[in-house]
Structure 1
Amino acid sequence: MSQKITLHTPSEKKRLNGQLGTVGIVFMVVAAAAPLTVIGGNMPLAMGIGNGAGAPVGFIIASLVLLIFSVGFVQMTPYVDEAGAFFSYVRKGLGRRPSMGVAAVALVAYTAIQVGIYGYIGWAIDDTIRFYGGPSLPWPLYSLLVLIIVAFLGYRHIDLSAKVLGVALALEISIVVIINLIVVFTAGTEGLTAEPFNPAVFTEGSLGIAVLFSLTGFIGFEATAIFRDEARNPEKTIPRATYAAVLVIGLFYAITSWVFVVQHGADNVQATAQETLDGNANMLLDTAAVTLGSMGRDIMNVLLLTSLFACVLSFHNVIARYQFMLASRGTLPRMLNDVHPRHLSPHKSSLVQTITAIAILAIFAIFGVDPLVGVFGSMAGVATVGMMILLLSTSVAVITFFAKNPILRGRKFFRSLVAPTLASAGIVISLWLVLSNFMLVTGGSFAISLFLGLIPFVAFGIGAVFFKEDEHAHEVVPQPPVEEEVEPSV
């Protein structure tokens, strides 16, 4: 008679699982890019203090840089078998120490942008309530309320977050598409124009600033790889989702910014954007009022809030999974690698991320920091510098990986070496643009801007030197419990 014995691998790593398809992952990533937030915030900045009517070219340039980056990123994806995004790619290409530095930068950058959005949404909710005659309450109260909702969704299975983000994203994109169509069919104030694409126009002013704020609008696009373990077919889903995310985000921003030029006029759009920055107008809501009426403006205002919520929820999920992956390697406490038995989510990592966000927001609240310039502006600046470091490190990792493994490269010379080299050059130029205009991003003094700009670089150094890792963690291939028939000894 035989008996059934369940065998487990002692060093077995835990993994998340799910059935996310290409569309579901794209929803998560595009939601993190917060399209409506970018249109209402980044676009007026690109137009007002950048190159005015030529701002659409800034979005096109940013899209091309990231699309070229994605070629090498996707080419290396089949050889990266874990959901660590940049961290995992750098680990494969450059080794353990650089990957530890990149992991630290990623945690800092995503935590910074998440906290910045919490400040923004706290201010936006208070502003909306006061607009409709409600009481004025401290913004941290609203931020805390949003944070609690995000904590609940982040604790549960990723499919629930994907559904919530899908609804919010569909609504915000739909209303902008409606406005775009109305403006195109009515030809705006001065008729349809190709002026934004005239070199004499897009080189006037500062094209660099336009590119800078365009790149900021893409933060989080690479998170497609973070959901690898929860993808239905990662070898196909992740590449498709990456290209789709870059194209959808880039085209949406470029077309919409061109439509706003058409609506306000090529000669007037910079002044209109500047009025928005001065607080005397709101380009997004005012355009909605003109094209859709007062009710359309109200709907747009609500959707702006849902856009911010979708953004902060996406970043919460991304950070939780970064922590989950680092814990599996022994870099962070092992408890963060626990998977909820029913929700199949990184629940403990999610809880820790919630506590971290509360702690940072509490510091800003105690010192009475302005939620827009102080919280959102400074944190967006830190995140942007961090993003450039992550992109550059990953491109160099792709080049190094295929240079060391020519048999894997095969005949795909452009995808594995040329494209990532071009991407590296574009990213270096973009990083220079970000740093040389950093005071415009943070809205602070030179000393404060210097301090904030150095944070991601310091994080890289700390991670590379002090972060430790289980040397054999990456070699463990997780397997489900195996049922074997074992004959009892006589």
Structure 2
Amino acid sequence: MSSAPNGVVNAVLARGKIGTPYLVFFVICAAAPLTVIAGGATTGWAVTGVTGIPVAYLAVAAVLGLFSVGFVAMSRRIVNAGAFYTYVAQGLGKPAGVGAAFVAVAGYNAMQIGLYGGFGAVLSGFLANRGTNIPWWLCAYAAWAIVAFLGVLRIDVNGKILACVLLAEIAIALVYDAVMVTHPADGTVTFDTIAPGGLLTAGIGAALVTAITGFVGFESTTVLAEEARDPRRTVARATYIAVAVIGVLYGLSAWAMSVATGPDRVVEAATEQGTDLMFNLVSPYVWSEAVTIGRVLFITSLFAALLSFHHTVARYLFALGRERVLPSVLARTSRRTMAPVAGSLTQTVLAAVVLAGYVWFDADPIVHLFFWITVTGGLGVLILMVVTSAAVVSFFAKRRHDENMWRAAIAPALAALALGAILVLTIQQFDTLLGVEPTSPLRWLFPAGYATAAILGLLWALYLRRARPEVYDAIGLGVEAKTLPHQHAEPTRLPA
């Protein structure tokens, strides 16, 4: 594909392929519900020692609902596979936008690649318990090959696959929840772990950070907007539905586990049993096949998240290649499927190289790859959400618009403050999240990586402004937008 002419961004993805349900599936699959419920909640209890993990999930859902108000308002005006990057470029300026893009590429790659460690280790353990010994890295590379294949197919084909996996995950989670709530510890159902007062306990900051990582993948509704039917309405519906479903499911399932163990014993149980806790709680009351199905869906949950984040990274690279912020070859799409082939293959190669490095150094796939790297990826997405909230306020303040004050200013400003507070707590307690000593340089090394990425993006944007002004002028404009030299163009708008 040739480079776009001066100021014209015209490379497109497949249009009209996915509706509201598939957008919801992509978002929730990226969040990996069963993985978060069985692994994230138990890890949260074990690491933080805070019993209020269920109320933390509900609180984060409320904050992200607030964030969605401005996020959705922006989605009605700007359609671009580089969502957060585009919003920041339009709201805070092109240099800030490129800095955000570099943070996004680093963060989403971290989430995607880190998940290979969890998938490989969990599948390897599952098979070992059944008499088949396969190293974790071979399981990880098997998933890598399948993701590479699916990544270049039509987006609606992937949506159907994710839909089947997700519906099965939610069904088994609700069955387990019903079993746990109807078999409470000491015969009493308690609501202590969802009481609002739990947000005021010591260590709740780390609990909120743990909870927010369960919502990463939030941006998928806008990343896939170019391929959606009627994105003006579809993106808004999918965003609100996804946040509500994820928040309620996480909060309900974590509370159900605390009911079955007893709120005063849930931290101890999670520490001792880890990801087996949920399965151990239900196994005395259900058929063994139901437990096996749950464990299999735990594995497919990880795979679904791998696939969903792969699509997100591929489309970010596509958007940056289309605007020539990165090499234009990344904007190449398949003539048959209209999938961003170059971006997809780039992410695939990067994942293969990182996995090879972990194998070479014999690093722990759970601690050093899955846990450390996905937590770091979640930090990157949290940074993006804080900056995007500020960008929404700035965007509407500088333009005439028909949005009311709640959507254009108040809600995004409140979201920026709430998410900013969580970000500060995240950085302050990053040693706790990594499980390292407070004096360990790792607690600063990972956050510093994002600062480095943002600075490199800023410097690259300034270089483009001086050396390649036609590229600089097109930054953040999205699909089929035109710019004039030395003017700020209005973003691509959708018909009402």
- TM surpasses 0.5: yes
Cross-structure match for 2:107: 109
Residue 176 in structure 1 maps to residue 166 in structure 2: no
Q: 1:82 to 1:263 in 2, by over 3 A?
A: same
Cross-structure match for 1:131: 129
- Is the CA contact (8 Å cut-off) linking 1:16 and 1:346 kept in structure 2? yes
Pick the aligned partner of 2:421 from 408, 429, 442.
429
- Is the CA contact (8 Å cut-off) linking 1:109 and 1:384 kept in structure 2? yes
Deviation at 1:47, TM superposition (A): 2.1
1:142-161 counterparts in 2 under 5 A?
Answer: 142-161=139-158
Residue 56 in structure 1 maps to residue 54 in structure 2: yes
The 2-side partners of 1:119 and 1:363 are apart by 12
The 2-side partners of 1:477 and 1:375 are apart by 35
What do residues 221-272 of structure 1 show as CA deviations (whole Å, max 9, x unaligned)? Answer: 1221000111001000011111111111111101111111111112221211
Cross-structure match for 2:487: none
Deviation at 1:201, TM superposition (A): 5.1
Deviation at 1:133, TM superposition (A): 1.6
Deviation at 1:199, TM superposition (A): 5.3
Cross-structure match for 2:486: none
Q: 1:205 to 1:44 in 2, by over 3 A?
A: farther
How many residues end up aligned between the 2 structures?
A: 466
TM-score by length of 1: 0.91
Q: Could you tell me which runs of 5 or more consecutive residues in structure 1 were left unpaired when the two chains were aligned.
A: 1-7, 480-490
Deviation at 1:187, TM superposition (A): 4.7
Cross-structure match for 1:483: none
Q: 1:12 to 1:254 in 2, by over 3 A?
A: closer
Quote the sequence identity (%). 34
Residue 19 in structure 1 maps to residue 17 in structure 2: yes
Pick the aligned partner of 1:207 from 204, 217, 223.
204
Bigger shift: 291-300 or 156-165?
Answer: 291-300
The 2-side partners of 1:435 and 1:409 are apart by 37
Pick the aligned partner of 1:408 from 396, 401, 405.
401
- Is the CA contact (8 Å cut-off) linking 1:179 and 1:291 kept in structure 2? no
Cross-structure match for 2:231: 234
1:83-94 counterparts in 2 under 5 A?
Answer: 83-94=81-92
- The DSSP-based 3-state class of the residue aligned with 2:339 is coil
Bigger shift: 366-375 or 290-299?
Answer: 290-299
- Is the CA contact (8 Å cut-off) linking 2:116 and 2:306 kept in structure 1? yes
AA in 1 matched with 2:169: E
Q: Could you tell me which runs of 5 or more consecutive residues in structure 2 were left unpaired when the two chains were aligned.
A: 482-496
The 2-side partners of 1:476 and 1:274 are apart by 47
Cross-structure match for 2:445: 451
The 1-side partners of 2:177 and 2:479 are apart by 49
AA in 2 matched with 1:442: L
Cross-structure match for 2:480: 478
- Is the CA contact (8 Å cut-off) linking 1:378 and 1:452 kept in structure 2? no
Residue 76 in structure 1 maps to residue 74 in structure 2: yes
Q: 1:265 to 1:14 in 2, by over 3 A?
A: same
- The DSSP-based 3-state class of the residue aligned with 1:339 is coil
The 2-side partners of 1:77 and 1:32 are apart by 20
Q: 1:239 to 1:123 in 2, by over 3 A?
A: same
Higher Rg: 1
CA RMSD of aligned residues (A): 2.0
AA in 2 matched with 1:448: L
- Is the CA contact (8 Å cut-off) linking 1:54 and 1:203 kept in structure 2? no
Cross-structure match for 2:360: 366
Bigger shift: 76-85 or 233-242?
Answer: 76-85
- The DSSP-based 3-state class of the residue aligned with 1:282 is helix
Deviation at 1:13, TM superposition (A): 1.6
The 2-side partners of 1:363 and 1:186 are apart by 46
Deviation at 1:191, TM superposition (A): 2.2
Cross-structure match for 1:485: none
Deviation at 1:442, TM superposition (A): 2.2
Deviation at 1:128, TM superposition (A): 0.7
- Is the CA contact (8 Å cut-off) linking 1:51 and 1:204 kept in structure 2? no
Deviation at 1:78, TM superposition (A): 1.7
Cross-structure match for 2:97: 99
Deviation at 1:435, TM superposition (A): 1.1
1:324-363 counterparts in 2 under 5 A?
Answer: 324-363=318-357
Cross-structure match for 1:392: 386
TM-score by length of 2: 0.90
Deviation at 1:276, TM superposition (A): 2.6
Cross-structure match for 1:275: 272
Bigger shift: 284-293 or 420-429?
Answer: 284-293
Cross-structure match for 1:298: 292
AA in 2 matched with 1:289: S
Deviation at 1:188, TM superposition (A): 5.5
Bigger shift: 55-64 or 21-30?
Answer: 55-64
Cross-structure match for 2:36: 38
Q: Hey, which bits of structure 1, 4+ residues long, moved more than 6 A?
A: none
Deviation at 1:183, TM superposition (A): 2.9
Deviation at 1:164, TM superposition (A): 0.9
- Is the CA contact (8 Å cut-off) linking 1:190 and 1:265 kept in structure 2? no
- The DSSP-based 3-state class of the residue aligned with 1:408 is coil
AA in 2 matched with 1:321: R
